[in-house]
Amino acid sequence: MNRRQALSWVLLSAGVLGGAALLDRVGFPAPQMILAIVVGAALAMSGRLPQPLPTQVSIGVQGMLGVLMGSYLQVELLTSIGLDLLPVLLVTAATVLVSVAVALVFARAAKVDVPTATLGLLAGGSAAVVAAADELNADPRRVAFMQYLRVALVALSAPAIAALLDEEAGISYRTTTLGGGVTNLELPYWMIVGRGDQVAGISIAIMLCVLGTWLGRKVNLPNAALLGPMLLTALLTAAGISHGYAPTHLFKDLLFVLIGFEVGTRFTREVVRQMTRMIPGMTAAVLALSGIVAALALGLANVVDLQMSDLYLATTPGGINAVLATADKMNANLPLITSVQTLRLLLMMLMLPLLMRALRRFSVPAVAPAQSPA
């Protein structure tokens, strides 16, 4: 990549960040990645795409994304919930299983390969799932389309469903935010990590990326560039040894933009036509998934002393940022919602490679063409 091509990527990234900031103000879900996918696809289909981003950039982005996800684990929130956490976690595990079951039905009905359908409908962690699609033998373009259609539908429906389930409006809980244990959210937007000392924070993040990826490869961890740093950061966060190393504000948004560009630049016109035909089936699948999760929340409310609206937001199938925004406006139980959503994200990413191996048994192998007689 020469200087002109590198400058083109810098200008494109800056433009997408600016556009995403405007979309973010009106409540658009996941604007950084979605806008980057759209811009990347438009450039690819028009033939005006600069030189592809180097592989090292992709590996570095996955490593930093792993650090970001690992920083979400906050042990003090788990202990504040008490024994009610156990049945909630069981329903959370059931939510993942339900999403897999819906994906299997959708794969058969829409004639989509099982890995792509499963990753596309898997509840939570859309950015991480899209980043891991290549290594799990799924089509990252279709996975991204399905994931962000799901995020958009959940983000639009979650406030209405939670309001219907809300029994005692106005209850106040201690507020919290994802990554709040290691990030100072009062820092200005141009800061790249969550502490005042930016050099120390980014140095720790780079160390976690390098060491986590190396350890992940040593133990043959699938998608080591993502899962290795995530696990190492989760351990560091849970131990409370250090803080302020998680990517935040501008840097976090840039990570999502780069992942979006990597996916968007692979789009072709044929893929776009195929995905347009998938919209009705995808919408039906996401609505069915949301309905089943809401039913699980209703059943769980009879077991634990928690509000149905809080339980739904804690177990809702994805759109975690939109869910937290909804919960904050409703004065919901943010410690519960944050903890459950975070644990599901970490558990899902750990189980993902094993899940893919198991689901490949459902894939129908291609039939070899019959040989003509001699």
Mean pLDDT to the nearest integer, 244-269: 81
- Asked if 227 and 284 touch (Cβ cutoff 8 Å), the reply is no
Q: Identify the pLDDT of residue 329.
A: 59
- Dump pLDDT digits (tens) for 186-202: 778 888 887 778 888 88
Question: What are 89's two structure tokens?
Answer: 């976690």
Question: What letter represents residue 267's amino acid?
Answer: F
pLDDT band at 208 (very low <50, low <70, confident <90, very high): very high
Out of 108-122, 174-188, 192-206, pick the least confident: 174-188
Question: What are 323's two structure tokens?
Answer: 């869910």
70 sits in which H/E element: helix 55-70
Question: What letter represents residue 160's amino acid?
Answer: A
Question: What letter represents residue 220's amino acid?
Answer: N
pLDDT band at 178 (very low <50, low <70, confident <90, very high): low
Confidence check: pLDDT of 156 > 70: no
- Asked if 85 and 78 touch (Cβ cutoff 8 Å), the reply is yes
> Where is pLDDT greater, at 202 or 183?
202
Percent of the chain exceeding pLDDT 70 equals 76
3-state secondary structure of 54: coil
Sequence-ordered alpha helix ranges (H) in 219-268: 224-239, 249-264
Confidence check: pLDDT of 142 > 60: yes
Query: What distance in Å separates the CA atoms of residue 136 and residue 125, rounded to the nearest whole number?
Result: 15
pLDDT band at 319 (very low <50, low <70, confident <90, very high): low
- Per DSSP, the residues of 144-207 read HHHHHHHHHHHHHHHHHHHHHH-SSTT-------TTTTT--TTS-TT--BSSS-HHHHHHHHHH
- Dump pLDDT digits (tens) for 268-304: 777 777 778 888 888 888 888 878 877 887 787 777 7
pLDDT band at 210 (very low <50, low <70, confident <90, very high): very high
Q: Look over the chain and give the mean of its residue pLDDT values, rounded to a whole number.
A: 76
Domain limits, the chain? 54-250+268-360
Encode burial over 363-372: b for 16+ CB neighbours within 10 A, e otherwise: eeeeeeeeee
- Dump pLDDT digits (tens) for 32-87: 877 888 888 888 888 777 777 777 888 888 888 888 877 877 666 666 666 667 77
Mean pLDDT to the nearest integer, 119-134: 75
Confidence check: pLDDT of 31 > 50: yes
Confidence check: pLDDT of 114 > 70: yes
- φ, ψ (nearest 5 deg) of residue 15: -65, -40
